[in-house]
Structure 1
Amino acid sequence: MTKNVLFIMCDQLRWDYLSCAGHPGLETPHIDALAKRGVRFDRAYVQSPICGPSRMSFYTGRYVSSHGSTWNSIPLKVGEMTLGDHLRPLGVRTALCGKTHMAADAEGMKRLGLAPDSTIGALVAECGFEPYERDDGLHPSTSYGKRNKNYDDFMKERGWEDENPWDSVANSGEDQDGNILSGWFLDNSDLKARAADEESETPYITRRAMDFIEEAGDTPWCLHLSYIKPHWPYIVPAPYHDMYPPETHSPVLRHDGEKDDPHPVFGAFMEERVSKAFTNQTTRTKVIGAYMGLIKQIDDQMGELMAFLDAKGLRDDTLIVFTSDHGDYLGDHWLGEKELFHDPSARIPLIVMDPSPEADATRGTVSNALVEAIDVAPTILDYFGGQEVPHIIEGKSLRPLMHGKQEALRDFVVSEYDYSMRQVRRRLGVSVADAKLTMLFDGRWKYVFAEGFRPMLFDLETDPNEFHDLGGDPAYAAECDRLQALFFQWTRRISQRTTMSDAEIERRGADLNEARAGIIIGFPTEADLEAALEADKKPPS
């Protein structure tokens, strides 16, 4: 039997925008079917609520403050081990179809003499994945995204001669007079994209994933299928563009009291342009309809992909992970985008289907264990029979939970955010070094340490919508102190000693190892040394 892994990630998909998670107006039968065959982890959190650092944590199994890629376009250090680095020695072909948001450490590669176009250089520059087809999406007229020539060629074959069909076709619509209207503008979200369904990004990259699986044959593989959507631009082709009228939308989660003397950082994020845009109900309604349509398109493609795996006889040998890199506020809490730690932003969908017979007892169940994005990498490594490397990977395999051998992995989850790049920092007058937020959630209390400010605190037992920040209330000072102590405990972990395991240190640290190596400090005479070595040979009584 050849083992394989299909690691599926959506971009900016909220945890609660699936019918299996309780969305009232959106049916996602194919994703739901995957949940029925595996375990849906209901309390999964990202290590950072923004694309780049979140993905680097997924790919390394390490917290953001460990790997150091704290915001989009901040490179992942050239020495950081990624999923591919752990899997390739096991004979597993580890490849990418879609997005990584990886920024290569060009300076580090240059210093080490790694050419970007060399085999090793390409892997280092792509988070350890073989770039079968990288497609981060292309931002118009900027260097932010990487141009996908394969997609351009595909669209030309379809008759589109546009210079950038990703922008002007897949992510634009038309008015009644045929004028092209960009999907980047939120009020165009209710238009149907100019591209046909099969021409848009989600079906295209699904087909490319199928191409990879066909090509891989009997070689064990781990494929990271990473969709660009439902991340903005919020625009979707027919028939998805008008499937979801306002009566199917979830009500907005916000409270007028949140605007009364808010935490300074929270208040500053409310002033962001995108946050203000989502306070307009007309705009928000258009975006929500498109967002739901984009998710429905993904679900339909999941149906195509699962049918393909069945036809190839691969379903029983393939571990499948379905998740997202973070959520989307969509106007909740008076915010747009992501970046802070309310559940719409930091909580993610996570479904894992382990085909092993040991997982049969938990199929179709929902786990309330606190899990983190960094748990995905060790779960995949575990499935392929790799050894645990806790001195490198800080996450924990989910398979013991799925095999009914364990009920919990940890007492709290942690997420970090560096807002130094944002205008919020400048408005608050905070230095680059101090623009840090860290969230700790223990299953009831969500605590946010904000450098230079009071903490934020939410009691999700009595306030599940996180409307009431208790961090400034003296009545909850003891709770803040308790959680701060946990946070301080977490910050004292050893995370940078990745070149030697605890077991190796234990082996080397035996009492007389130094003496055997010729370092004999501490012995008054040679006779004392010989006596100690002789005594060490005797078994303990």
Structure 2
Amino acid sequence: MDRPKQPNIILIMTDQLRWDCLGYAGHPDVKTPYLDTLASRGVVFDSAYSACPSCIAARAALHTGREQSHHGRVGYEDNIPWNYHHTMAEELSRAGYYTQCVGKMHVHPLRNYLGFHNVELHDGYLHSARYASVPYRESQFVADDYFYWLKENLGVSADVTDTGIDCNSYLARPWMHEEKYHPTNWVTDRSLDFLRRRDPRRPFFLMASYLRPHPPFDAPDYYFRLYRDMELRPPFTGDWETDEYLRRDGRIFDSKTGPADPELARQAQIGYYACITHLDHQIGRLIMALVEQELYDDTVILFTSDHGEELCDHHMFRKSRPYEGSCHIPLLISAGKNVLPGLKPHSVCRSIAELRDVMPTLLSIAGADIPECVDGMNLLPLAENPEKTGRSWLHGEHSYGEFSNHWIVTGKDKYIWYSQTGEEQYFRLDDDPHELHNLIGSDSCRERIGYLRSLLINSLTGRPEGFTDGTRLISGRPYPPTLPNASGI
């Protein structure tokens, strides 16, 4: 008997895109017409999270399908080898797919393909790969395809730092070269070239892995002009907050806080939104190419991000935090008319999803076996029946110095524990989605908080850091960003 035809699969991965900065998510300012179209033709998972919300740890969950204590990366640390036995691309390759990644991988070494047949790499600005002490072949200027291409086209001195903006900065200004040289355009260009040269006899898996809207906020000027004169919704500030860290660090351009200057905060919003709309239009180019090459109807598209961006909410900036701006991410599945006939278009699933779920979901779409080591959940049954109940809660965390945190999130609320200080917070997300009111001291919530705390204790029991003795949480324990199993060996 002939095997059913396998659909083509495209994973559109973004970097640092928070869940609410999309038109289909109801944002009052950000315009994303192409992503809105994908959402209208598919299923939106509006309670998707990144359980360890920074670049490396989040991508470990994506590529292995494992939760953070199993893949071993619970914070940010460069130069730790990736040697996992089962990866998403490797399993799809075994299932008969030709696998290609274009854009960001953020693995070690830089040219580690993680089972992809081919990678055209651009990891953005990686400090650890640019230092003078880095060996020649491990230098980002050699190993990164976009940097190599940029220098070939614009000269040896060309660099993404020519704007004067750091890769973790809240500063914003338009791209200084022609738009066609922007890294967002480059990912689409190289993805289109892959579609041109693919083997038409084989299904393909393309991971189009965009760098933006991760800083630098440097979209082409056209996109800045869309937002410059707009009255933007201000950042969210709760009644529980202090400006202690903002006063201490708010003049540092790569700070973990937002800027102390409100005008710089507005400029950061403009730059971030400009990067998102630029990204959306480049995704539109990819979609149009699928239509023109008569591939769209036979293709499944999964769209998501590795983590979010606080964008000055709660006086904070960047990621690694337990709050919604940092850890709540977009995730949707859209499909052409010839594939996934059970998919419910224009629907929303409110069950909690996580990046570890991407690998088993794509393997299921491909008709491939899911390795036993995978912790993630196949989302296809939820895509076919969005009202069905899946995961009811999730444990998230991040090693982050004085701000190291653990959290339990459900479909209606969130409990946070800061592991260095012992501080606790509790938010009712169903009534307070932007975490403006900390209810940790509320008598009416005491029983519920105790239940969520017990879930966290159970999640941390047996961990090497010693966060709990099985009955209570223990603060002040050493919390390195990688566990002994982080290399995957």
Say whether 1:69 aligns with 2:63.
no
Q: What runs of 5+ residues in structure 1 fail to find an aligned partner?
A: 105-115, 117-121, 173-180, 261-266, 426-434, 495-541
Deviation at 1:235, TM superposition (A): 1.5
Name which of 408, 411, 422 aligns with 2:389.
408
Give the aligned residue type for 1:88.
S
Say whether 1:128 aligns with 2:115.
yes
Say whether 1:445 aligns with 2:413.
yes
Distance in structure 1 (CA, Å) of the matches to 2:381 and 2:390: 9
Deviation at 1:139, TM superposition (A): 4.5
Distance in structure 2 (CA, Å) of the matches to 1:139 and 1:199: 19
Alpha-carbon displacement from aligned partner over 1:474-518 (angstroms, at most 9, x marks no partner): 664422221122234445699xxxxxxxxxxxxxxxxxxxxxxxx
Partner residue in 2 for 1:223: 206
Say whether 1:484 aligns with 2:453.
yes
Distance in structure 1 (CA, Å) of the matches to 2:279 and 2:324: 22
Partner residue in 2 for 1:88: 93
CA distance change for structure 1 residues 222 and 404 in 2, over 3 Å: closer, same or farther?
same
Contact 2:64 2:356 in 1 (8 A): yes
Alpha-carbon displacement from aligned partner over 1:299-325 (angstroms, at most 9, x marks no partner): 111111111011111112211111111
Contact 1:139 1:145 in 2 (8 A): no
Say whether 1:197 aligns with 2:165.
no
Contact 2:61 2:71 in 1 (8 A): yes
Say whether 1:97 aligns with 2:98.
no
Task: List aligned pairs for 1:338-349, cutoff 5 A.
Answer: 338-349=319-330
Name which of 198, 207, 230 aligns with 1:247.
230
SS at match of 2:351: strand
Q: What runs of 5+ residues in structure 2 fail to find an aligned partner?
A: 464-489
SS at match of 1:485: helix
TM-score (norm 2): 0.83
Question: For structure 1, which segment, 455-464 or 191-200, has the greater mean C-alpha deviation from structure 2 after superposition?
Answer: 455-464
Say whether 1:151 aligns with 2:133.
no
CA distance change for structure 1 residues 477 and 406 in 2, over 3 Å: closer, same or farther?
closer
Give the aligned residue type for 2:195.
I
Deviation at 1:279, TM superposition (A): 3.3
SS at match of 1:259: coil
Name which of 293, 300, 312 aligns with 2:293.
312
SS at match of 1:362: coil
* % identical aligned pairs: 28
Deviation at 1:12, TM superposition (A): 0.6
Say whether 1:237 aligns with 2:206.
no
Partner residue in 1 for 2:45: 41
Say whether 1:387 aligns with 2:354.
no
Distance in structure 2 (CA, Å) of the matches to 1:354 and 1:413: 27
Deviation at 1:464, TM superposition (A): 2.6
Deviation at 1:358, TM superposition (A): 4.7
Say whether 1:466 aligns with 2:435.
yes
Name which of 287, 292, 305 aligns with 2:273.
292
CA distance change for structure 1 residues 399 and 493 in 2, over 3 Å: closer, same or farther?
farther
Give the aligned residue type for 2:450.
D
Contact 1:278 1:331 in 2 (8 A): yes
CA distance change for structure 1 residues 295 and 304 in 2, over 3 Å: closer, same or farther?
same
Distance in structure 2 (CA, Å) of the matches to 1:321 and 1:446: 26
Contact 2:10 2:208 in 1 (8 A): yes
Contact 2:125 2:167 in 1 (8 A): no
Partner residue in 2 for 1:176: none
Partner residue in 2 for 1:538: none
Partner residue in 2 for 1:429: none
Give the aligned residue type for 2:92.
L
Q: Would you tell me which structure has more helix in proportion to its own residues?
A: 1
Q: Number of aligned pairs?
A: 443
Distance in structure 2 (CA, Å) of the matches to 1:152 and 1:45: 31
Say whether 1:166 aligns with 2:160.
yes
Contact 1:60 1:83 in 2 (8 A): yes
SS at match of 1:369: coil
Name which of 367, 379, 402 aligns with 1:398.
379
Higher relative contact order (CA 8 A, sep 6+): 2
CA distance change for structure 1 residues 194 and 479 in 2, over 3 Å: closer, same or farther?
same
Partner residue in 2 for 1:509: none
Alpha-carbon displacement from aligned partner over 1:110-130 (angstroms, at most 9, x marks no partner): xxxxxx9xxxxx6xx333334
TM-score (norm 1): 0.75
Task: List aligned pairs for 1:255-274, cutoff 5 A.
Answer: 255-259=238-242, 272=249, 273=252, 274=255
